[in-house]
Structure 1
Amino acid sequence: MTNPQFTGGAIDLGALADRKEQTGGFEPFITVDEAGIEQQVIQRSMQIPVVLLIGTPRSPDSESLKAQFEKLAAGQRAFMVGYVDADATPQIAQAMGVRVLPTVLALAGGRPVANFEGNQPADELEQWVGALVSQVGPQLQGLSEEADAPEPAEDPRLDQATEALNAGDFDRATAVYDEILADDPSNAEIKQAKATVAVLKRVQGQGEPEDDVEKQLFAADQEFVAGDPEAAFDRLLALVKAEPRAKERLLELLTLLEPGDPRVIAARTRLASALF
């Protein structure tokens, strides 16, 4: 099933019904990628020690350590293991200064506290983990109750919105989002989804404008929907000094990406320079 969506970092409308809270149930062994390193590893290490295993499926030692850590981590809450596949996410290995695979780093309070390279006998590995938990664990916050909290129930109306989007009925999808916002006015994801639908409707339902400025605004919408927000921002930034509509359109499109997105930060910086 194909859902209308923006590429380039904007919200995936079809994924709203499937999105899980990051604060869901605790998992003692996880696979970590570059996008999750901050939330899943650094933030978790504020609560309990986190063992970061950086390895590769090509290495028997890596696979052996991975299996041993999975066994040690299972069924406990005193520490967590994050596995990084250095082949799939080399950026993490580079950022950690890893020279040998496998490398193991222990983090606590967001900082490395111990490390070793290569494989280890099972008994020595167990002792190493035990020392980490007993010596470092008490200095940390511990897991909060929300780590075991059940995930919130999904709003069934999200399925209705997805069905409407699949059918190209943007007005119906917008109405569903309005219903949800009436019950939960502060829901940022739904606000973003509604704004996204407005742009998508504008692009798919509008013919070629006759006004020159409107042509530029329409072209920016098309670029954004096509997954090239930087081109859209460039186009609008070139007009903001002379045309208030360009500023309004730029600010609208900026809200459809995460505030911390580097492209948003760069565009807002350039906007401030252009206006002041």
Structure 2
Amino acid sequence: MMEHLHGHDHDSCTPDLDRDLAVTGIRSPEEKPAQVISDEKTSPSRVVEPVIEVTPLSLEPEVIVRSSQVPVVVLIGSAVDPGMTALRRDLKNRAASAALRWIFGVVDADRFPQVVRAFRPTTLPSVTVVAGGTGVRAWTPADGAEVDCGDWAEQVVVTVSARLEGLPEDAVTDGADQATAGTSFAADPRLQEAAELVGHGDAEAALVLYDRMLAEYPDPAAASTLHRARAAVAVLARTGDMDRSAVLSAVADARRGPRGDVDTLLRAADVLVLLDRPAEAVELLSGALTDVRDGDGEGDRVRHRLLELLYLLEPGDPVVTLARQRIAAAVF
């Protein structure tokens, strides 16, 4: 029975995703709920994969609509959060062995905050089981002392699967071998090409290559490497036309702390990275989160740049932990 499982029951604090899609702006309020939409663009793909990335585009067809067929277990968190890695590995392995009895979806909280808001998690990372278009149970690390997340997810899946319709007969299984992803990434010639472009002063072209690779390599290790490289090259692209006086002025702005306009703040953070002081750049931006206005998008600009620069530091760095706490406080 559901009430005998650990985790949180569905209530006003867990997501009704059909409602929350409209609240968060992913779907306009005038559109029909996912369960009754028949338009082709909202239908799940015939190709069924055991592991998917949940984005604003895939949320409705591959999570909400798909969950009328089989449960979708959704992990929400940051790719650079140490607590995310073990959860992702365990759930991914279990999903691969589940023979599509359920689907595992991952939400990158840094890239898609609007998707995070649709689930309304109380903390990150968190796991939600979606069935019939609704988040029916939620798990957080605080529940880990009582029950393992993977065991909990599989128990919930067994409980809710009986009332779902199952995958359609024409569904096609994705036979791609995900285990080779890391090998193919390491051998990708675009890595060397990007490095050469940076060496020749064409940082913008290198960014294009990194963006293409990020779209092709969802593997956490590959994505982390690419995000780190992209963040460093993005700083070079933004500061390439700065002369010595502009650099000195930006350093002076950084020393004054989180004051002034957002353009000045972001430029100061970039210069700190150029001077090999990324931790100071992160501290500068995270400290400014409470001082910038959200109404005109300034808060989003600072958060976006801060999330980018976090990739330049180790996930366990206290500066990263503090920054993430400040981001969470500002967003939620």
TM-score bracket, normalised by the shorter chain, equals 0.3 to 0.5
Q: Pick 1 or 2: higher relative contact order, CA cutoff 8 A, min separation 6.
A: 1
For normalisation by structure 2, the TM-score amounts to 0.37
Which of the two has higher C-alpha Rg? 1
For normalisation by structure 1, the TM-score amounts to 0.44
